[in-house]
Amino acid sequence: MLVLKGRDCTMTLGKNIASRRHELGLTQGQLAERLNVSFQAVSQWERDDTAPELSRLAEIAQALDTTPTALLANEEKSAVPQPRPALERIFDENRMTTYLKGRAESLGLTQTLRALAFARQAHAGQLRKGAAGVPYIAHPLTVTCHALALGLHQDELLAAALLHDVVEDCGAALESLPVSQTVRDAVDALTYRPDPAHSRAENKRAYFAALSENRIACVVKLLDRVNNLSLIAASLPQDKLRRAVMETRRDVLPLLRMLKTRWPELSDAAFLIKYQLCALLNTLEALVGREDP
């Protein structure tokens, strides 16, 4: 449950939704109708049996004629939700592995199969930062499953999604990756190597400029950012969260325009990614405000 501690009591997101609904004189069914969900879903939120997705928080606030910040605060003190393993994990890594292996075998995706085994070994023992014991491998697995769900079945793209962090975070050598040079080039583009002689802003500009030249790297970076923003609110202080939102608008969103203009065959996937990414950005900005570059 999303617990929000004040000086005199402990509030939850569910209790705040219920309280605001009662203030407006709405039934659970009426709120459910406004949100196009079942009344059972609203009931479960209010009992804190489940929590709504973070990306829906702005929509819930609008239906209740309030703000996301108000729903995530008690009368005494605002608070940022504390990490929840269930939210951070989202999907079980063992099930995702089984699913990806089965799809790759059925589609004849040999590089994806090799990348899956390599990524699991490379990330073994690593945990997601601020994610209460969630194995790091859950991240590349989720990114790859997301690509499949968007209808992106290309072997090299899926292999790059699985391997996108193994060089930067695991110290793996590019030449050791059991994949084609095309996949290695994409992983190379996705690997951030800041030059200490330059500022952070200069390094980031150079990184995204190089990344934008690689079709596979563009797609993987966008899916990577969707996954990271989906989980980031529970583990970062507000200043770093605000910076992540600003960087996404400044550097990551332009990759979507690049996909649609340079690689029109990816327009459908770009539309869905834009919908997801912008929904997350709008919700996070409602929580922490927007910082001008």
Q: What is the dihedral of CA 195, 201, 207, 210, to 10 degrees?
A: -120
- Strand blocks (E) in 10-144: 10-12
Name the catalytic one among 169, 188, 247, 291: 169
- Do you know the residue count of the chain? 293
CA angle, corner 60, sides to 55 and 63, nearest 5?
A: 145
What is the rounded distance in angstroms from the CA atom of residue 125 to the CA atom of residue 109? 26
Q: Decide if 169 is catalytic.
A: yes
Alpha helices (H) in 127-266, listed in sequence order: 138-149, 155-163, 166-170, 181-190, 200-211, 215-232, 238-247, 253-262
Q: How many CB atoms lie within 10 A of CB 251?
A: 19
Please measure the distance between the N-terminal and C-terminal CA atoms of the chain and give it in whole angstroms: 34
Give the pair of three-digit tokens for residue 61. 């606030």
Amino acid at 210: A
CA within 13 Å, CB half, 266: 24
Cα Rg, the chain, nearest whole Å: 20
What is the rounded distance in angstroms from the CA atom of residue 195 to the CA atom of residue 142? 30
Do residues 4 and 12 make contact, with C-beta atoms less than 8 angstroms apart? yes
DSSP 8-class letter at 73: B
What is the rounded distance in angstroms from the CA atom of residue 10 to the CA atom of residue 202? 44
Do residues 175 and 163 make contact, with C-beta atoms less than 8 angstroms apart? no
Name the catalytic one among 65, 75, 105, 168: 168
- The residues annotated as belonging to the active site are 168-169
